[in-house]
């Protein structure tokens, strides 16, 4: 039986990422050489072009190119040893398009389309503008497509109930899995909602004012052709974690 192994990368929001945690995840990716790497979105924050930056000094900071370069370098390091890599659209990466809406004449420029802007093609990364079914009955989403729930796994599960397929998502920055089954007697169908945590440094996220129901983490999944095994990997405050029997950064 052939097992396909996935690494799911949670919200990075570069430059607000946890540098040590990211370095350790890169070590994991290099060591394990996953068949596929999935990114749930929000890989870059785009803080200088957000609506929150308007009419503030942040809007005038000339850091966009540096942030893009850092994101490209990190994504390449996370995905270069895998056979394939996929990224889903997200609310933070939508900020580029939302900014272009203020000057509609620029929207048609191909180099300003997000996937082109990030040059994903040269890195072998496939960008998806909507839900991506990566295995039968399992879809990748960002997590902002429905209402947010404060309990880890519930936002994803609510999306799963609507989609009729199990959902892996980010956006909530929470790490957890929830399940729901429907049917009668032996004829039933389980649905799973998986939320992948985040890879952010909370100290950099000043907008939380120090309080946030977030958990750092990543997810590893094994697909045997019919069933999915999901492993939640919590990441400690110092960026260390244990995955697949090996410690990273401890």
Q: Name the pLDDT band for 210 (thresholds 50, 70, 90).
A: low
Distant-in-sequence, close-in-space partners of 194: CB < 8 Å, separation ≥ 6: 8, 153, 156, 166, 167, 168, 169, 176, 177, 219, 230, 232
Handedness of CA 149, 154, 157, 158 (dihedral sign): negative
Q: Name the pLDDT band for 60 (thresholds 50, 70, 90).
A: confident
Q: pLDDT tens for residues 167-176? A: 999 999 999 9
Give the burial class of 59: count Cβ atoms within 10 A of its Cβ; 0-12 exposed, 13-18 middle, 19 or more buried. Answer: middle
Which pTM does this prediction carry?
0.93
Beta strands at 84-88 and 125-128: parallel, antiparallel or unpaired: parallel
Run of H or E including 231: strand 228-234
Is residue 239 within 8 Å of 248, Cβ to Cβ? no
Q: Give residue 52's pLDDT.
A: 78
Spell out the domain ranges in the chain.
Answer: 4-241
Q: Is a pLDDT exceeding 80 seen at residue 228? A: yes
Which CATH code, of 3.60.21.10, 3.30.70.660, 3.40.50.2300, 3.90.650.10, is assigned to 4-241? 3.60.21.10
Q: pLDDT tens for residues 76-86? A: 999 999 999 99
Q: Name the pLDDT band for 185 (thresholds 50, 70, 90).
A: confident
Q: pLDDT tens for residues 17-45? A: 999 999 999 999 999 999 999 999 999 99
Cα separation, 125 vs 115, whole angstroms? 9
Is residue 43 within 8 Å of 14, Cβ to Cβ? yes
Q: Give residue 1's pLDDT.
A: 75
Residue 15: is the preceding peptide bond cis (ω within 30°)? yes
Q: Give residue 209's pLDDT.
A: 66
């Amino acid at each position: 039986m052939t097992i396909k192994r996935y690494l799911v990368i949670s919200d990075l929001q570069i430059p607000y990422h946890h540098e040590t945690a990211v370095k350790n995840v890169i070590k994991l990716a290099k060591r394990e050489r996953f068949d596929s790497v999935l990114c749930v979105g929000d890989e870059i924050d785009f803080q200088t072009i957000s609506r929150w930056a308007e009419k503030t000094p942040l809007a005038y900071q000339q850091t966009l190119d540096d942030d893009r370069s850092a994101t490209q370098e990190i994504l390449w390091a996370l995905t270069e040893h895998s056979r394939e890599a996929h990224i889903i659209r997200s609310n933070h990466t939508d900020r580029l398009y939302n900014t272009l809406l203020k000057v509609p004449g620029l929207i048609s420029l191909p180099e300003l389309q997000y996937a082109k802007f990030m040059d994903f093609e040269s890195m072998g990364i496939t960008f998806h503008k909507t839900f991506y079914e990566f295995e039968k009955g399992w879809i990748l989403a960002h997590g902002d497509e429905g209402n947010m729930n404060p309990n880890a796994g519930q936002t994803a599960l609510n999306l799963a109930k609507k989609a009729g397929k199990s959902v892996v998502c980010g956006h909530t920055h929470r790490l957890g899995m929830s399940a729901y089954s429907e049917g009668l007697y032996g004829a039933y169908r389980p649905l799973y909602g998986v939320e992948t945590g985040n890879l952010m440094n909370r100290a950099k996220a000043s907008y939380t004012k120090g309080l946030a129901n977030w958990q750092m983490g990543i997810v590893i999944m094994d697909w045997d052709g019919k069933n999915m095994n999901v492993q939640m990997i919590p990441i400690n405050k110092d960026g260390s974690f244990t995955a697949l029997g090996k410690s990273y950064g401890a």
